[in-house]
């Protein structure tokens, strides 16, 4: 075909179509073309009027189309000789009628009406777009195929040429073909979207619109979403094309239309990386219309979360945030969603705004018509109900600190303003600490180095005074740094100062430092390499002892004995003396054989005699332990206090080591042989285990020889039960 012929074909009017001049075959939906040629106008009109009457029984709204399309006047109307204005009005009436007819297309009355319109007004030629719009949601039906077969779409340049395979094969339009054409031809995508908006507008006044539009909206959602899924690369043009329709969908009060719009937004969010301005605009529209349909607020929030999760904008802006805070039971809804899904993307945008709004409320800068207390209430509810995952606890703590310091440091801020801020922030900080104890610590540690100058230190102290654990961040005058940093300072005098400050604080304050911090600080400083620091810490341990478990107490104190080196620093004697006093106070040792055995076995190297000089540190601790009460707590050591006193009184100083240790072997052996067999075997096992450990110091070596001598001396006294006992001793030897 020449280009001239193509141009002439495009200019041709429908009424010049040869089929209109021939009565051998006539286009028809209900009849065979040859049979349709025998049907006169009156018969076709009667069929159409019957269909309309039946439709009126279903939907009275069709009454508006009776005069323009199904009246005697319409019966005689020949559009080919009408003016442009008349035909334009006729096209509008037909288009409107087909929109209203679409929900009923599969019903026989609807098809009767179409038969009349095809017969009289040749809508398959003049109104092909409107006719396809009417039947497209039913593309998988045979009736749809029948309609397509009426169209003149053989020209490759024709808008609907892609439907030619349906026309020629008689096979319904496959869903995959429809979806592929949708994402490849943006004009067709726009056709579907505009069809929905026109239909929604047409049914706007209809109370049953939700039901009547259900098929169309389901078709809209499935087609557009599937097209977005199928497209390998979505261009900005697609998003730009869809955005106006998304806006209309969000503003609609039709649940199905909104649901379809939410689905489209989610799919776009997953497939396309959008500019921040576009994301903010979309999120703003979403938030503003959240409460349009109360039953779908949850769905809207879910859609918003997916949008923010995929696009990650820096913030939402002030106005959307205010709208969001106005959603009834917002946090309750988010809590419900959080039980199954991650709501942190939305909280990440909300938390900074909420904290800033609390401060603005105090400063009198909040928006009019908003109860400023709602921001604090939301924060409290979030802390109570929703887990702050993905570092949100740190984010909240950071903004609480920064907003507090920023507001308090402003010159125009009055004292009563700071007092009000303290009142608002106190419950929030306490809640945050109770749920996420490490979050505030981490933030304060990060900012410690930035706090220089008296003004900043004062504000810092004001903030940490709101915290139950704030005491550890207090600045010590003598070290010019915080308690926590002072406790870990490289200089021993600073650490000693910090421990003494901690002791004072524990004695005078009922709150201000959390228990976990105190316990960690004490246990850490008990391992200090400076004896004075250890001694001060041991004193603090005694004050705070009720917060330590018995096993933790025993283990910590026995570790001091393992670390002590009396030969290098006599100061360790005072440490071990105090440790022994605390240890003996543990009444549970008298009820717990296992712990009692552990204490005796580990203290034995400090009770053996390794020096003839009773003023030496080793001898002083041995004497102190014999008098401390440990001997009365365990049957193995019963009588050792008196025995050691006799040795010291009756023997020359040079004989104390030999005689004293020999006396210990005799006494321990005697006590061991008199004990209950099951108890003795447990103690023997503990002694053997201790003996198997390699000995390094003189005390350990002497204790090993004393232990072995005691065990050997007891073998003969056990007689028939001696064999397993002797085997264990032999394995030690």
Report pLDDT digits (tens) over 308-367.
999 888 778 888 888 999 899 999 999 999 999 999 999 999 999 999 999 888 877 766
Query: What is the greatest pairwise CA distance in the chain?
Result: 146
- Output the average pLDDT for the chain: 84
Q: Tokens 């039953």 label which residue?
A: 295
Mean pLDDT within 689-703: 73
Backbone angles phi, psi at 481, to 5 degrees: -150, 175
pLDDT at 482: 67
Query: Which of 155-159, 188-192, 318-322, 509-513 is least confident?
Result: 509-513
With a CB cutoff of 8 Å and minimum separation 6, the contacts of 16 are: none
pLDDT in tens, 480-496: 566 777 777 777 888 88
d(C-alpha 539, C-alpha 537), whole Å: 5
- Model confidence at 294: pLDDT above 80: yes
d(C-alpha 426, C-alpha 379), whole Å: 12
Are 609 and 657 in contact by the 8 Å Cβ rule? The answer is yes
Residue 107, CB-side half-sphere exposure with 13 Å CA sphere: 16
Strands 475-476, 481-482: pairing is antiparallel
pLDDT at 614: 82
Which bin fits 369, alpha (ψ -120 to 50), beta or left (φ > 0)? left
Most confident region among 123-132, 648-657, 664-673 by mean pLDDT: 123-132
Mean pLDDT within 156-160: 93
d(C-alpha 95, C-alpha 270), whole Å: 36
Mean pLDDT within 288-294: 89
pLDDT in tens, 23-80: 566 889 999 888 888 888 999 999 999 999 999 999 999 999 999 999 999 888 888 8
Mean pLDDT within 203-216: 87
- Model confidence at 438: pLDDT above 90: no
Pull the structure tokens for residue 237.
Answer: 């043009």
pLDDT at 11: 42
pLDDT in tens, 548-582: 888 888 888 888 888 887 777 778 888 888 888 88
Closest CA to 55 of 131, 109, 96, 117: 109
Cα 604–605–606 angle (5° rounding)? 85
d(C-alpha 500, C-alpha 3), whole Å: 101
Are 102 and 110 in contact by the 8 Å Cβ rule? The answer is no
Residues of 265-291 as b/e, b for ≥16 C-beta within 10 angstroms? Answer: bbbbbebbebeeebbbbbbbbbbbbbe
Backbone angles phi, psi at 476, to 5 degrees: -90, 130
Q: Tokens 């557009």 label which residue?
A: 224
Q: Give the containing element (helix H, strand E) for 281.
A: helix 276-288
- Model confidence at 2: pLDDT above 60: no
Backbone angles phi, psi at 372, to 5 degrees: -60, -20
Q: Tokens 């997916």 label which residue?
A: 306
pTM of the model: 0.70
Backbone angles phi, psi at 477, to 5 degrees: -60, -40
Backbone angles phi, psi at 141, to 5 degrees: -105, 160
- Taking 3-state DSSP, the helix, strand and coil percentages for the chain, each rounded to the nearest 5, stand at 75, 0, 25
Strand locations in 494-572 (E): none
d(C-alpha 360, C-alpha 367), whole Å: 9
Query: Which of 38-47, 470-479, 713-722 is least confident?
Result: 470-479
**DSSP class of 453:** S
pLDDT at 724: 66
Are 285 and 247 in contact by the 8 Å Cβ rule? The answer is yes
**DSSP class of 496:** H
Query: Which ranges in 293-436 belong to alpha helices (H)?
Result: 297-311, 318-325, 330-338, 344-363, 373-385, 392-408, 415-435
Environment class of 731 (CB within 10 Å of its CB; exposed 0-12, middle 13-18, buried 19+): exposed
Give the bridge partners for 475, in sequence order. 482
Most confident region among 102-116, 350-364, 494-508 by mean pLDDT: 102-116
d(C-alpha 587, C-alpha 141), whole Å: 88
Q: How many beta carbons lie within 10 A of that of residue 690, not counting itself?
A: 21
d(C-alpha 536, C-alpha 526), whole Å: 9
137 versus 363: which is more confidently predicted? 137
Q: Give the containing element (helix H, strand E) for 591.
A: none
pLDDT in tens, 517-555: 788 888 888 888 888 999 998 988 888 888 888 888 888
* CA distance from start to end of the chain: 114
Q: Tokens 């507001």 label which residue?
A: 407
pLDDT at 585: 74
Mean pLDDT within 187-197: 96
Are 398 and 385 in contact by the 8 Å Cβ rule? The answer is no
pLDDT at 6: 47
Environment class of 18 (CB within 10 Å of its CB; exposed 0-12, middle 13-18, buried 19+): exposed
Cα 466–471–474 angle (5° rounding)? 100
Are 669 and 713 in contact by the 8 Å Cβ rule? The answer is yes
d(C-alpha 209, C-alpha 207), whole Å: 6
Q: Tokens 């205010």 label which residue?
A: 322
pLDDT at 610: 82
704 versus 359: which is more confidently predicted? 359
């Amino acid at each position: 075909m020449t280009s001239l012929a193509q141009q002439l074909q495009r200019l041709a009017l429908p009424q010049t179509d040869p089929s209109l001049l021939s009565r051998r075959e006539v286009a028809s939906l209900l009849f065979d073309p040859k049979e349709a040629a025998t049907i006169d106008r009156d018969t076709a009109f009667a069929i159409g009027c019957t269909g309309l009457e039946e439709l009126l029984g279903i939907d009275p709204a069709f009454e508006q189309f009776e005069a323009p399309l199904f009246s005697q006047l319409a019966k005689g109307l020949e559009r080919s000789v009408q003016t442009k204005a008349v035909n334009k009005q006729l096209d509008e009436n037909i288009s409107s009628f087909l929109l209203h007819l679409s929900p009923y297309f599969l019903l026989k009355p609807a098809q009767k009406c179409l038969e009349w319109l095809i017969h009289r007004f040749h809508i398959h030629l003049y109104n092909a777009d409107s006719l396809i719009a009417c039947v497209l949601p039913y593309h998988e039906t045979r009736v749809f195929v029948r309609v397509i077969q009426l169209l003149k779409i053989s020209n490759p340049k024709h808008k609907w040429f892609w439907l030619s395979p349906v026309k020629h094969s008689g096979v319904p339009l496959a869903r995959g073909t429809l979806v592929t054409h949708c994402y490849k031809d943006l004009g067709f995508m726009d056709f579907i979207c505009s069809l929905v908006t026109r239909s929604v507008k047409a049914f706007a006044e209809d109370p049953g619109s939700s039901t009547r539009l259900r098929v169309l909206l389901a078709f809209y959602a499935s087609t557009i979403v599937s097209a977005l899924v199928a497209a390998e690369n979505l261009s900005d043009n697609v998003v730009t094309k869809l955005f106006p329709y998304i806006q209309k969908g969000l503003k609609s009060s039709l649940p199905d239309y909104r649901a379809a719009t939410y689905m489209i937004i989610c799919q776009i969010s997953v497939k396309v990386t959008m500019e921040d301005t576009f994301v903010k605009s979309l999120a703003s529209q979403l938030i503003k219309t959240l409460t349009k349909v109360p039953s779908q607020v949850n769905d809207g929030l879910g859609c918003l979360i997916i949008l923010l999760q995929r696009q990650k904008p820096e913030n939402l802006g002030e106005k959307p945030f205010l709208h969001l805070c106005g959603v009834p039971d917002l946090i309750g809804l988010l809590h419900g969603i959080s039980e199954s899904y991650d709501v942190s993307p939305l909280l990440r945008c909300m938390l900074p705004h909420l904290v800033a709004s609390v401060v603005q409320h105090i400063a009198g800068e909040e928006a009019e018509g908003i109860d400023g207390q709602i921001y604090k209430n939301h924060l409290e509810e979030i802390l109570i109900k929703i887990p702050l995952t993905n570092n949100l606890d740190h984010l909240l703590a950071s903004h609480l600190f920064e907003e507090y310091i920023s507001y308090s440091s402003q010159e125009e801020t009055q004292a009563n303003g700071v007092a009000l801020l303290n009142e608002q922030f106190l419950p929030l900080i306490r809640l945050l600490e109770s749920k996420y104890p490490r979050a505030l610590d981490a933030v304060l540690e990060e900012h410690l180095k930035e706090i220089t100058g008296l003004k900043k230190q004062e504000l810092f102290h004001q903030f940490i005074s709101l915290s139950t654990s704030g005491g550890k961040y207090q600045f010590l005058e003598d070290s010019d740094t915080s308690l926590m940093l002072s406790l870990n300072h490289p200089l021993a005098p600073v650490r000693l100062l910090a421990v003494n400050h901690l002791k004072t604080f524990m004695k005078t304050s009922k709150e201000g430092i959390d228990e976990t911090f105190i316990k960690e600080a004490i246990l850490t400083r008990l391992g200090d390499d400076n004896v004075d620091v250890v001694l001060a810490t041991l004193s603090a341990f005694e004050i705070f002892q009720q917060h330590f478990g018995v096993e933790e107490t025993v283990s910590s104190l026995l570790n001091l004995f393992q670390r002590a080196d009396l030969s290098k620093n006599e100061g360790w004697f005072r440490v071990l003396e105090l440790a022994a006093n605390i240890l003996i106070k543990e009444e549970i040792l008298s009820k717990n054989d296992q712990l009692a055995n552990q204490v005796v076995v580990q203290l034995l190297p400090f009770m053996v005699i390794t020096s003839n000089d009773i003023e030496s540190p080793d001898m002083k601790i041995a004497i102190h332990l014999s008098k401390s009460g440990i001997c009365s707590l365990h049957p193995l050591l019963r009588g050792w206090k008196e025995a050691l006193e006799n040795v010291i009184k009756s023997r020359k100083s040079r004989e104390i080591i030999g005689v004293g240790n020999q006396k210990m072997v005799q006494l321990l052996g005697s006590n061991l042989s008199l004990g209950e067999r099951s108890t003795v075997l447990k103690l023997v096992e503990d002694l053997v285990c201790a003996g198997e450990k390699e000995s390094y110091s003189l005390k350990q070596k002497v204790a090993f020889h004393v232990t072995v001598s005691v065990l050997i001396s007891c073998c003969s006294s056990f007689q028939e039960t001696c064999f397993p006992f002797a085997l264990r001793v032999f394995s030690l030897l």
